[in-house]
């Protein structure tokens, strides 16, 4: 802290006014100064000089008056005389500091010595102006104090801003860290010299190593295994471009993306490699294209059959009369019916897929009513094949928590199969009862049964048993796939028990309406 104005020749205060040729306007105050001195001459002299300089000045004769003024209004500067009638400057300074004011303080005293200066400094004085002082000294010190105050404020604001940005940076850093750590994709960051600077737990898992043990190792070393050769090569000849390619490890496929990161001057500082397991995506894509191939085949064969029948009829190759063609036309109609059913089933499947897991609003359904309705649908077929229907519904079974349309569709498919794959004169059974808080509905038949090796595939799309007994039975292999999806989306499950040549039982378990 500078101690200004060593003892030098004082300029009498009265002469100050004469020397001040410039009279300032009262436009805007340069700052507020409180002068605390018991000497009237000093107080009013300081007051007049600083007022002329554009400051707002208040005077206090005693320590008590000074504190009262400071409690009343804010000041930028307090000029404090060392010797006051009711207290000394240091005690007053202490009291000012206790108030935690945003104020600059300057001791003015005729008893300036180094001890006083040290004591005042300890109390946190900002400046020291020994008496007597010249108007220039006073003005200079006041200006300096105002400047210091501004600087102190700016420094505090800068500090606050810096702390805030440090905090933001720290939280951004920790967010980035937890983001990278929790990523399912493996992430490896390599610097310009090919050294690993970051590896996330997924990367550690992929390489079967602790991710921290990978740090600072050459990427070429940790990626030495054969499946990673394309990554090593890509890093070796990296051109600063984004590169995307696939690698294989056993039966898994991965997508690798190499992205350069740059300095502010656009120099490549290193690469970020993300390795994502795309096996499931690939499997789904394969399944989808297999599905489409089968679907095209399912469309082509009945259309081909109908076309040949129409050709025979149009060529009149069996004569002019309609009679000989009737069995053929009947067959064409059946194939077209099959096609219509196929389209209906495909639409149902795609509707279920589009609706996904979303819960549709529905009223819990009375299963007995739906069972009756579906049996009615098959009445003709049942009679034609002399099939007996046995229905056993546990009395008072509460409503089932499934949309009525879904229950209808799945019963149409299961009862339809029990009719289709039955032997003439056989039985179709429908039992419903309560089991462990769920509804269990069994659809039983006494027909062809299913071969044991085919049971695991029975719910796959387009799966049909290829047996001589089933060869002439119409179908497209989508019914059970639809049933399974409908049951599962109502949080239920389906099971099948079957013995070849004896018959099958399909059991569905569905939640009951929780309100009854
Ligand atoms: P679709 O009956 O149209 O062929 P599904 O998906 O309903 O299609 O059934 C798939 C296959 O499961 C059938 O082709 C048949 O081989 C077998 N299957 C289904 N239900 C029965 C059943 N009740 N008895 C014997 N086999 C059945």
Percent of the chain at pLDDT exceeding 90 = 68
CA 107, CA 36: separation in Å to the nearest integer?
Answer: 10
> Is 388's pLDDT higher than 70?
yes
Judgement on whether residues 382 and 474 belong to the same structural domain of the protein = yes
pLDDT for 119: 80
pTM of the model: 0.60
Q: Give residue for tokens 């609003």.
A: 361
Distance 356 CA to ligand 1 centre (A): 25
| pLDDT 10s digits, 227-238 | 999 999 988 886
- State which ligand 1 atom lies nearest to the alpha carbon of 506: 23
CA 336, CA 437: separation in Å to the nearest integer?
Answer: 44
pLDDT for 480: 98
What are phi and psi for residue 131, nearest 5 degrees? Answer: -85, 150
- State which ligand 1 atom lies nearest to the alpha carbon of 447: 24
Give CA angle at 409 (407, 414), nearest 5°. 90
Last residue within a domain, chosen from 161, 192, 211: 161
Which among 383, 302, 287, 371 has a CA at the least distance from the CA of 341? Answer: 302
Cβ atoms of 111 and 83 closer than 8 Å = yes
pLDDT for 516: 47
Judgement on whether residues 201 and 292 belong to the same structural domain of the protein = no
Q: Is 479 in the pocket of ligand 1 (CB under 6 A)?
A: yes
Judgement on whether residues 325 and 387 belong to the same structural domain of the protein = no
Distance 455 CA to ligand 1 centre (A): 10
CA 269, CA 287: separation in Å to the nearest integer?
Answer: 42
Which among 118, 38, 124 has a CA at the least distance from the CA of 83? Answer: 38
As given in the structure block, the two tokens for residue 254 are 């991965």
Strand 438-445 relative to strand 427-435: parallel, antiparallel, unpaired? antiparallel
Query: Which residue, judged by its Cα, is nearest atom 13 of ligand 1?
Result: 464
Distance 60 CA to ligand 1 centre (A): 106
Give CA angle at 89 (86, 95), nearest 5°. 85
Q: Is 497 in the pocket of ligand 1 (CB under 6 A)?
A: no
Sheet of 32-36, strand order:
56-60, 32-36, 77-81, 104-109, 127-130
Residues 6 or more apart whose Cβ sits within 8 Å of residue 374: 408, 411, 412, 415
Question: Which of 450, 476, 499 has most ligand 1 atoms within 8 Å of CB, for mutation?
Answer: 450
Distance 371 CA to ligand 1 centre (A): 20
Q: Is 444 in the pocket of ligand 1 (CB under 6 A)?
A: no
Judgement on whether residues 28 and 48 belong to the same structural domain of the protein = yes
- State which ligand 1 atom lies nearest to the alpha carbon of 477: 8
Judgement on whether residues 108 and 138 belong to the same structural domain of the protein = yes
Give CA angle at 385 (384, 391), nearest 5°. 105
Q: Is 463 in the pocket of ligand 1 (CB under 6 A)?
A: yes
> Is 24's pLDDT higher than 50?
no
| pLDDT 10s digits, 399-432 | 888 999 999 999 999 999 999 999 999 999 999 9
CA 161, CA 317: separation in Å to the nearest integer?
Answer: 96
Task: Give Cα separations from 152 to 107, 149, 156, 166, 377 (angstroms).
Answer: 19, 5, 6, 21, 91
As given in the structure block, the two tokens for residue 210 are 């602790």
Distance 383 CA to ligand 1 centre (A): 21
Question: Which of 421, 448, 478, 485 has most ligand 1 atoms within 8 Å of CB, for mutation?
Answer: 421
Distance 350 CA to ligand 1 centre (A): 20
Judgement on whether residues 499 and 429 belong to the same structural domain of the protein = yes
Last residue within a domain, chosen from 123, 138, 161: 161
> Is 216's pLDDT higher than 80?
yes
pLDDT band (50, 70, 90) for residue 515: low
DSSP H or E segment with residue 245: strand 243-249
Cβ atoms of 173 and 166 closer than 8 Å = no
Cβ atoms of 447 and 467 closer than 8 Å = no
Distance 513 CA to ligand 1 centre (A): 30
pLDDT for 3: 32
Tally of domains within the chain? 4
HEC string for 408-459: HHHHHHHHHHHHHCCCCCCEEEEEEEEECCEEEEEEEECCCCCCHHHHHHCC
Distance 477 CA to ligand 1 centre (A): 7
Instruction: Pick the most confident of 216-220, 395-399, 434-438.
Output: 216-220
Q: Residue 495's domain is classified under what CATH number?
A: 3.30.565.10
The dihedral region occupied by 159, where left means phi > 0, alpha psi between -120 and 50, and beta the remainder, is alpha
| Most distant pair of Cα atoms in the chain: their distance | 144
Q: Give residue for tokens 């546990």.
A: 394
> Is 77's pLDDT higher than 70?
yes
What are phi and psi for residue 104, nearest 5 degrees? Answer: -95, 140
Per DSSP, the three-state class of 105 is: strand
Q: Is 475 in the pocket of ligand 1 (CB under 6 A)?
A: yes
Judgement on whether residues 388 and 336 belong to the same structural domain of the protein = no
Query: Which residue, judged by its Cα, is nearest atom 2 of ligand 1?
Result: 475
Judgement on whether residues 478 and 375 belong to the same structural domain of the protein = yes
Distance 101 CA to ligand 1 centre (A): 90
Judgement on whether residues 198 and 255 belong to the same structural domain of the protein = yes
The stretch 325-354 carries a mean pLDDT of: 94
Per DSSP, the three-state class of 274 is: strand
CA 200, CA 186: separation in Å to the nearest integer?
Answer: 6
pLDDT for 409: 95
- State which ligand 1 atom lies nearest to the alpha carbon of 482: 6
Residues 6 or more apart whose Cβ sits within 8 Å of residue 190: 196, 197, 219, 235, 270, 271, 272, 273
pLDDT for 6: 36
Q: Is 256 in the pocket of ligand 1 (CB under 6 A)?
A: no
Distance 84 CA to ligand 1 centre (A): 110
Burial of 476 (0-12, 13-18, 19+ CB in 10 A): buried
> Is 268's pLDDT higher than 90?
no
Q: Residue 152's domain is classified under what CATH number?
A: 3.40.50.2300
Q: Which domain holds residue 108?
A: 1-161
CB atoms near residue 8 (< 10 Å): 11
Distance 464 CA to ligand 1 centre (A): 6
| pLDDT 10s digits, 106-124 | 998 876 677 777 888 888 8
- State which ligand 1 atom lies nearest to the alpha carbon of 464: 14
Judgement on whether residues 8 and 49 belong to the same structural domain of the protein = yes
pLDDT for 112: 61
- State which ligand 1 atom lies nearest to the alpha carbon of 449: 25
CA 352, CA 400: separation in Å to the nearest integer?
Answer: 19
Judgement on whether residues 272 and 221 belong to the same structural domain of the protein = yes
Q: Is 412 in the pocket of ligand 1 (CB under 6 A)?
A: no
CA 201, CA 199: separation in Å to the nearest integer?
Answer: 7
The length of the chain, given as a count of residues: 516
Last residue within a domain, chosen from 245, 277, 309: 277
Judgement on whether residues 294 and 438 belong to the same structural domain of the protein = no
As given in the structure block, the two tokens for residue 206 are 């992929």
CA 511, CA 487: separation in Å to the nearest integer?
Answer: 10
Q: Residue 214's domain is classified under what CATH number?
A: 3.30.450.20
Q: Residue 307's domain is classified under what CATH number?
A: 1.10.287.130
What are phi and psi for residue 90, nearest 5 degrees? Answer: -70, -40
Distance 359 CA to ligand 1 centre (A): 29
């Amino acid at each position: 802290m500078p101690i200004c104005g060593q003892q030098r020749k004082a300029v009498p205060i009265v002469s100050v006014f004469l020397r001040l040729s410039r009279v300032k306007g009262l436009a805007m105050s340069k700052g507020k100064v409180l002068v605390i001195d018991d000497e009237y001459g000093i107080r009013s002299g300081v007051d007049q000089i600083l007022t002329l300089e554009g400051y707002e000045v208040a005077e206090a004769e005693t320590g008590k008056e000074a504190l009262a003024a400071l409690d009343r209004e804010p000041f930028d500067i307090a000029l404090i005389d060392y010797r006051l009638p009711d207290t000394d400057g240091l005690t007053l300074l202490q009291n000012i500091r206790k108030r935690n004011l945003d104020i600059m303080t300057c001791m003015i005293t005729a008893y300036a010595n180094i001890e006083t200066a040290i004591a005042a400094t300890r109390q946190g004085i900002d400046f020291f102006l020994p008496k007597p002082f010249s108007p220039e000294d006073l003005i200079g010190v006041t200006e300096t104090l105002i400047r210091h105050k501004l600087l102190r404020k700016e420094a505090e604001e800068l500090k606050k801003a810096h702390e805030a940005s440090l905090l933001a940076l720290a939280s951004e850093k920790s967010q980035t860290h937890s983001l990278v750590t929790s990523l399912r994709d493996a992430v490896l960051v390599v610097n310009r010299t090919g050294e690993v600077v970051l590896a996330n737990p997924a990367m550690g898992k992929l390489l079967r190593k602790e991710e921290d043990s990978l740090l600072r190792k050459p990427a070429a070393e940790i990626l030495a295994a054969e499946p990673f050769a394309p990554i090593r090569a890509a890093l070796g000849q990296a051109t600063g471009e984004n590169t995307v390619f696939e690698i294989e490890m056993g039966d898994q496929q991965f997508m690798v993306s190499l992205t350069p990161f740059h300095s502010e001057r656009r120099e490549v500082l290193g690469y970020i490699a993300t390795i994502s397991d795309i096996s499931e995506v690939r499997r789904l894509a394969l399944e989808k294209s297999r599905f489409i191939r089968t679907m095209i085949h399912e469309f082509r064969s009945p259309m081909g059959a109908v076309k040949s029948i129409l050709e025979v009829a149009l060529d009149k190759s069996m004569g002019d009369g309609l009679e000989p063609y009737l069995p053929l036309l009947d067959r064409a109609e059946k194939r077209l019916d099959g096609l219509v059913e196929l389209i209906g089933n495909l639409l149902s499947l795609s509707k279920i897929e589009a609706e996904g897991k979303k819960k549709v609003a529905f009223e819990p359904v009375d299963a007995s009513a739906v069972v009756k309705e579906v049996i009615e649908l098959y009445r003709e077929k049942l009679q034609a094949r002399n099939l007996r229907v046995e229905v056993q519904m546990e009395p008072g079974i509460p409503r089932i928590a499934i949309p009525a349309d879904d229950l209808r569709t799945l019963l149409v498919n299961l009862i339809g199969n029990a009719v289709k794959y039955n032997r003439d004169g056989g039985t179709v059974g429908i039992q419903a009862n309560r089991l462990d808080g769920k509804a269990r509905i069994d659809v039983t038949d006494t027909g062809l049964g299913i071969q044991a090796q085919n049971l695991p595939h029975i719910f796959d799309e387009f799966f049909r048993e290829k047996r001589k007994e089933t060869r002439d039975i119409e179908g497209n292999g989508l019914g059970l796939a639809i049933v399974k999806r409908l049951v599962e989306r109502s949080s239920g499950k389906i099971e099948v028990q079957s013995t070849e040549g004896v018959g099958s039982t399909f059991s569905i378990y569905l939640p009951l309406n929780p309100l009854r």
